[in-house]
């Protein structure tokens, strides 16, 4: 009997779909934004009507039973009932409640909008999938499961890790009940130790969104990245730090608002609000201080988690697990010795977590040795698409290099060319990990400006990441530990900073991707060939997109970026494509 577990992430942002076989194998996992080419796919279903039939044919042949699992409880949480009854904009009776506190953290209409979208997304969850299954596979049995949002985050982190046992922290913006949850993971089971319940508790996800807003950026566009990049240029603003300390404190496993004067204190934060024309130093100080305060709070939470679990392995998930700056400091600032963060720790990753929970519920005894989950679970671009392009194209030059595509690309990179690199299955999660990447030689600092000016068109303060062969990483990074999904930022050794200047941030750090042959043989080969030519086992790796768009999905998307930017070379599988004339 063929049972398939289809996980859907139905948070209104970052929706995603994942498929697991009845043997527990991940067959497919991808965020909806890729297919739609619509960043974060706000308000879009993960089971897009026109896409589902093809996905089912490709990954779920002859299904006898399909379990649809979603990453949010269908039951309406208490605060939604309150809001529904009283309305957001006229709720004076809620002045002293947690709703009001959360309400004040963001602007009224933003919170109202978020909750309305969330509810509509949950109400629509799986409808398209059920309709298509019934139409195409009328004999297929369909079951439906819904799981606690934070439990699905925890499942993504723990089932995807190589740990047999771990402590797990989910630090998020919000779930059905609150914003954080903590678990003990062993024997393929997740035991909840604590969940922050009630909106009177502070949310570190919402806190970071507020800092993003104070820096003059837009959290709805996911611009928290910019805060981290900018923070490296800043220094501590003690007045802001003191104010933040009066608004949020850690108490055991909870973050709380300690003062009754909460609203007045939140209002005072606006004193630090920056605008696009604010001096960059001032913006950077807000970013730096916000980041330092965040790190101080999470350090306290994690130390508490270690004390309770006495386990040295940590898995981390939720939107706050995307904070690579802090992630790189965890083993130094806490007592945890190993840290695992999945490739998709935010809500797109929950689709896989939900599918895994459903699978393990059905197969509690079917346990395999734990192993690192590959991030390469998304769509492919087939050679046929390239062949069609060759047939009708009248301007580009093509080389088919099945035996030497890595060697030739490495030569071009060493020669200073900017390369769009598309191979195999796309990455699950926000980072380009060598399958949908723009690559460049990391040796010259000027390459940063070149990529910004010719390809990415983004702010100068945002760094580019190094992808490094694991065997050499300790030579280049202090306190090196593996970062398979570009999830940690570490200090580059002083002696190496000039050697890889284009990927060395202003504070001497780099958000590295560890590359091992067994994780991605072709990308490993490419970097190794580059190393043979330059004695540098590192490539500059940035996402294959232009600002404001998701990673490329189809050959047409890749060509659009290639033809409308200063990229010199496009490599798709074994095909190397160049423009008619050099610039
Ligand atoms: Fe979440």
329 and 407 in a common domain? no
SS3 158: helix
* 431 in any annotated domain: yes
Of the candidates 293, 350, 297, 343, which has an alpha carbon nearest to the alpha carbon of residue 321?
Answer: 343
CATH number of the domain at 23, please. 3.30.420
* 186 in any annotated domain: no
| Overall number of domains in the chain | 3
* 137 in any annotated domain: yes
266 and 154 in a common domain? no
For residue 497, report the distance from its CA to the centre of ligand 1, in Å: 36
For residue 409, report the distance from its CA to the centre of ligand 1, in Å: 39
Q: Token pair of 454, please?
A: 């010719």
Of the candidates 116, 138, 140, which has an alpha carbon nearest to the alpha carbon of residue 68?
Answer: 140
Per-residue pLDDT of the chain (583 residues), as tens digits, is: 699 999 999 988 999 999 999 999 999 999 999 999 999 999 999 999 999 999 999 999 989 999 999 999 987 665 565 555 544 433 344 444 555 555 555 555 666 777 788 888 998 999 999 999 999 999 999 999 999 999 999 999 999 999 999 999 999 988 888 889 999 999 999 999 998 876 667 889 988 988 999 999 988 788 888 999 999 999 999 999 999 999 888 988 888 887 766 667 777 888 898 987 888 889 999 999 999 999 999 999 999 999 999 999 999 999 999 999 999 999 999 999 999 999 999 999 999 999 999 999 999 877 778 999 999 999 999 999 999 999 998 889 999 999 999 999 999 999 999 999 999 999 999 999 999 999 999 999 999 999 998 898 888 888 999 999 999 999 999 999 999 999 999 999 999 999 999 999 999 999 999 999 999 999 999 999 999 999 999 999 999 998 889 999 999 999 999 999 999 999 999 999 999 865 4
For residue 398, report the distance from its CA to the centre of ligand 1, in Å: 43
For residue 560, report the distance from its CA to the centre of ligand 1, in Å: 32
For residue 174, report the distance from its CA to the centre of ligand 1, in Å: 6
214 and 156 in a common domain? no
For residue 110, report the distance from its CA to the centre of ligand 1, in Å: 17
Instruction: In whole angstroms, give the CA distance from residue 191 to residue 299.
Output: 22
Strand order of the β-sheet with 189-195 is: 189-195, 180-186, 165-171, 313-317, 338-340
Confidence at residue 80, expressed as pLDDT on a 0 to 100 scale: 62
* 59 in any annotated domain: yes
Give the helix/strand (H/E) hosting 533. Answer: helix 521-534
For residue 172, report the distance from its CA to the centre of ligand 1, in Å: 5
* 51 in any annotated domain: yes
357 and 246 in a common domain? no
For residue 123, report the distance from its CA to the centre of ligand 1, in Å: 17
Residue where a domain terminates, one of 373, 394, 416: 373
For residue 345, report the distance from its CA to the centre of ligand 1, in Å: 8
Q: Token pair of 37, please?
A: 């080419």
Q: Token pair of 58, please?
A: 């490709």
CATH number of the domain at 216, please. 3.30.420.40
* 492 in any annotated domain: yes
Range of the domain at 28: 1-74+125-160+342-373
Confidence at residue 289, expressed as pLDDT on a 0 to 100 scale: 97
For residue 181, report the distance from its CA to the centre of ligand 1, in Å: 11
For residue 209, report the distance from its CA to the centre of ligand 1, in Å: 13
274 and 395 in a common domain? no
For residue 383, report the distance from its CA to the centre of ligand 1, in Å: 36
279 and 302 in a common domain? yes
For residue 151, report the distance from its CA to the centre of ligand 1, in Å: 10
Instruction: In whole angstroms, give the CA distance from residue 202 to residue 562.
Output: 44
For residue 293, report the distance from its CA to the centre of ligand 1, in Å: 21
For residue 189, report the distance from its CA to the centre of ligand 1, in Å: 20
359 and 312 in a common domain? no
Instruction: In whole angstroms, give the CA distance from residue 439 to residue 437.
Output: 6
332 and 356 in a common domain? no
For residue 377, report the distance from its CA to the centre of ligand 1, in Å: 20
Give the helix/strand (H/E) hosting 383. Answer: helix 383-392
55 and 24 in a common domain? yes
- Phi-psi map region of 41: left, alpha, beta (phi>0 left; psi -120 to 50 alpha): left
For residue 155, report the distance from its CA to the centre of ligand 1, in Å: 12
* 562 in any annotated domain: yes
For residue 378, report the distance from its CA to the centre of ligand 1, in Å: 21
For residue 320, report the distance from its CA to the centre of ligand 1, in Å: 9
For residue 150, report the distance from its CA to the centre of ligand 1, in Å: 7
For residue 41, report the distance from its CA to the centre of ligand 1, in Å: 15
Instruction: In whole angstroms, give the CA distance from residue 348 to residue 39.
Output: 12
Q: Give residues with Cβ within 8 angstroms of 461, minimum separation 6.
A: 226, 229, 230, 232, 233, 280, 284, 506
349 and 333 in a common domain? no
Instruction: In whole angstroms, give the CA distance from residue 463 to residue 504.
Output: 8
For residue 379, report the distance from its CA to the centre of ligand 1, in Å: 24
Question: Is 20 in contact with 4 (CB distance < 8 Å)?
Answer: yes
For residue 319, report the distance from its CA to the centre of ligand 1, in Å: 6
Alpha helices by DSSP H, listed for 215-334, are 224-231, 238-247, 262-269, 280-309, 324-327, 330-333
* 353 in any annotated domain: yes
Confidence at residue 422, expressed as pLDDT on a 0 to 100 scale: 98
Residue where a domain terminates, one of 373, 394, 421: 373
Instruction: In whole angstroms, give the CA distance from residue 555 to residue 386.
Output: 8
DSSP 3-state helix, strand, coil percentages of the chain (rounded to 5)?
A: 40, 20, 40
For residue 13, report the distance from its CA to the centre of ligand 1, in Å: 10
348 and 336 in a common domain? no
489 and 574 in a common domain? yes
- pTM (predicted TM-score): 0.93
CATH number of the domain at 564, please. 3.90.870.20
Please state whether beta strands 65-70 and 3-9 pair in parallel, antiparallel, or not at all (unpaired).
parallel
Instruction: Identify the DSSP state of 314.
Output: E
For residue 244, report the distance from its CA to the centre of ligand 1, in Å: 23
Instruction: Identify the DSSP state of 355.
Output: H
For residue 348, report the distance from its CA to the centre of ligand 1, in Å: 9
SS3 204: helix
For residue 17, report the distance from its CA to the centre of ligand 1, in Å: 15
Instruction: In whole angstroms, give the CA distance from residue 176 to residue 83.
Output: 14
For residue 353, report the distance from its CA to the centre of ligand 1, in Å: 11
For residue 45, report the distance from its CA to the centre of ligand 1, in Å: 16
Instruction: In whole angstroms, give the CA distance from residue 499 to residue 465.
Output: 14
CA atoms within 13 A on the CB side of 430: 23
For residue 94, report the distance from its CA to the centre of ligand 1, in Å: 25
Q: Token pair of 529, please?
A: 């060939």
Residue where a domain terminates, one of 287, 317, 340: 340
Instruction: In whole angstroms, give the CA distance from residue 470 to residue 363.
Output: 35
Q: Give residues with Cβ within 8 angstroms of 393, minimum separation 6.
A: none
């Amino acid at each position: 009997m063929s049972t398939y577990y289809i996980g859907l992430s139905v948070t209104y942002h970052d929706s995603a779909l994942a498929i697991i076989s009845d043997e527990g194998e991940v067959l497919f996992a991808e965020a909806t934004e890729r297919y739609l080419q619509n960043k974060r796919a706000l308000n879009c279903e993960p089971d897009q009507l026109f896409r589902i039939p093809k996905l089912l044919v490709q990954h779920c042949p002859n299904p006898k039973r399909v379990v649809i699992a979603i990453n949010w409880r269908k039951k309406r949480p208490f605060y939604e009932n309150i809001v529904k009854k009283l309305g957001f904009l006229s709720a004076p009776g809620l002045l002293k409640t947690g709703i009001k506190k959360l309400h004040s953290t963001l602007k009224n209409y933003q919170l109202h909008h978020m909750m309305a979208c969330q509810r509509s997304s949950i109400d629509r969850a799986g409808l398209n999938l059920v309709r298509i299954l019934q139409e195409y596979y009328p004999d297929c049995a369909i079951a439906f499961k819904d799981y606690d949002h934070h439990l699905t985050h925890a499942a993504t982190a723990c089932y995807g890790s190589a740990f047999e046992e771990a402590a797990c922290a989910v630090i998020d913006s919000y779930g059905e009940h609150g914003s954080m949850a903590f678990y003990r993971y062993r024997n393929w089971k997740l035991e909840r130790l604590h969940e922050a319940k009630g909106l009177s508790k502070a949310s570190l996800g919402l806190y970071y969104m507020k800092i993003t807003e104070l820096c003059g950026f837009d959290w709805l566009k996911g611009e928290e990245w910019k805060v981290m990049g900018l923070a490296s240029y800043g220094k501590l603003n003690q007045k802001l730090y003191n104010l933040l300390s009066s608004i949020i404190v850690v108490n055991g496993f909870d973050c709380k608002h300690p003062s009754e004067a909460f609203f007045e204190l939140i209002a005072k934060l606006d004193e630090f609000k920056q605008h696009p024309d604010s001096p960059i130093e001032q913006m950077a100080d807000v970013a730096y201080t916000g980041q330092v305060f965040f790190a101080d709070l999470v350090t306290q939470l994690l130390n508490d988690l270690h004390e309770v679990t006495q386990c040295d392995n940590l898995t981390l998930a939720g939107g706050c697990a995307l904070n690579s700056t802090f992630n790189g400091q965890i083993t130094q600032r806490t007592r945890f010795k190993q840290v695992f963060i999945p490739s998709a720790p935010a809500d797109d990753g929950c689709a896989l977590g939900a599918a895994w929970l459903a699978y393990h519920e059905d197969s509690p005894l079917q346990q395999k040795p734990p192993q690192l989950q590959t991030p390469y679970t998304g769509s492919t671009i087939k050679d046929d698409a390239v062949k069609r392009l060759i047939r009708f194209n009248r301007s580009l030059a093509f080389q088919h290099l099945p035996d030497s595509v890595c060697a030739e690309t490495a030569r071009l990179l060493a020669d200073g060319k900017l390369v769009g690199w598309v191979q195999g299955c796309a990455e699950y999660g926000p980072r380009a990990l060598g399958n949908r990447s723009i690559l460049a030689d990391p040796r010259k600092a000027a390459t940063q400006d070149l990529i910004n000016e010719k390809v990415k068109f983004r702010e100068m303060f945002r760094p580019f990441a190094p992808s490094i062969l694991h065997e050499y990483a300790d030579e280049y990074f202090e306190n090196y530990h593996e970062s398979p999904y570009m999830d940690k930022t570490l200090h580059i050794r002083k002696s190496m900073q000039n050697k890889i200047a284009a990927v060395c941030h202003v504070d001497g750090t780099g958000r590295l991707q560890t590359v091992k042959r067994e994780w991605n043989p072709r990308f490993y080969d490419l970097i190794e060939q580059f190393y043979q030519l330059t004695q540098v086992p590192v490539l500059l790796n940035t996402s294959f997109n232009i600002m404001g768009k998701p990673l490329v999905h189809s050959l047409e998307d890749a060509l659009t970026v290639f033809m409308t930017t200063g990229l010199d070379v496009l490599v798709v599988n074994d095909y190397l494509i160049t423009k008619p004339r050099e610039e």
